[in-house]
Amino acid sequence: MRLGLVSRSVGAVAVVAGITLAPPVDAAPLVDYVAMGDSFSAGSGVEPVAPGGQDCLRSSRNYAHILAAKNDFRLTDVSCGAADTNDFFHPQKAGMKPQLAALDANTDLVTFSIGGNDGNVFATTIGKCVVVGAFGVAPGTPCDDLFAAGVAREIRMQTYPKLVRAMRAVRQKAPNAQVYALNYLRLVPNRAVACPGVPVTRGDVKTAYRIQTELSDAIERAAHKTGVTFVDVAVGSVGHEACKPRGVRYVEPLVGAAQLVPLHPNALGERQMAKVVGAAIGR
């Protein structure tokens, strides 16, 4: 069934042996929903892990599960921690299928976040920024000076075409589906401030923000190019970055995380993502 359609009544008023039968109540069509993507979609770090999701650290409280439970969607969740665009086409681990294998012409709804692991954009940026910033003690913007231009070039020249390829493949495998590509919740603010949970220099907090913006722009451009709907979950996460206290932040910090997987959405973040995606699909 297509998302947003209402099924027709299977019967009308009938009179049998003098008894008037009321027409059956129209039932909403069952929506076939496939959730794809990386750890932000999988909810890696948010307990509990979904049945069968141990290898991917796939949470039963990720945004896809929240959406499916709220709307009674039939969910197939193949999102997986550490996934990149290549894992749409090839098995990420032994015994797994490519994520695209979950799609077919009967799929009604697809959501995913992807791209942050291509070229190790997230891990490389944060890891190098922490090291060269001497865990927040060094002055200036050493990460910006040494690495930012190269990471931005990687995103524009390598990640963007990979995103286009992946999104086109999703559209081809699920031609009747509504497809939504998410960007990422904000890790740090757009200000040169101290962020003890993400121990880079004050100046390089803005560097990390700028690199994340570069990736978000690439995702948005790829979505527009391929006819996929872009969902901006980042904009609503401003003020809820990893620098904020527990109960406010949507993303856990690198230092002092309240879950096993740092720099990833917590349960509050996954609920926020479900809210934004739900609004985008009209649910």
Q: What is the pLDDT of residues 273-283, one digit of tens each?
A: 999 999 999 99
pLDDT, tens digit (0-9, with 9 covering 90-100), for 231-243: 999 999 999 999 9
To the query of whether residue 79 is one of the catalytic residues in this protein, the response is no
Share of the chain above pLDDT 90, in %: 84
User: Torsion angle of alpha carbons 216, 217, 222, 224, nearest 10°?
Assistant: 110
Q: Which one of 65, 79, 240, 264 is the catalytic residue?
A: 264
Which CA distances in Å does 137 have to 127, 227, 245? 15, 45, 21
Over residues 205-220, the mean pLDDT reads 96
The structure tokens listed for 166 are: 């992946």
- Active-site residue flag, 240: no
pLDDT over threshold 50, residue 13: no
Residues 112 and 182: beta-carbon distance below 8 Å: yes
Q: pLDDT tens-digit profile of 51-66?
A: 999 999 999 999 999 9
- Confidence at residue 224, expressed as pLDDT on a 0 to 100 scale: 98
Q: Is the pLDDT of residue 17 over 60?
A: no
Question: Could you give the CA distance from residue 262 to residue 266 in angstroms, rounded to a whole number?
Answer: 9
The number of C-alpha atoms within 13 Å of 255 and in the hemisphere containing its C-beta is 12
CA dist 99 to 152, 207, 229, Å? 27, 32, 19
Catalytic residue among 39, 41, 79, 216: 39
The whole-number pLDDT of residue 28 equals: 64
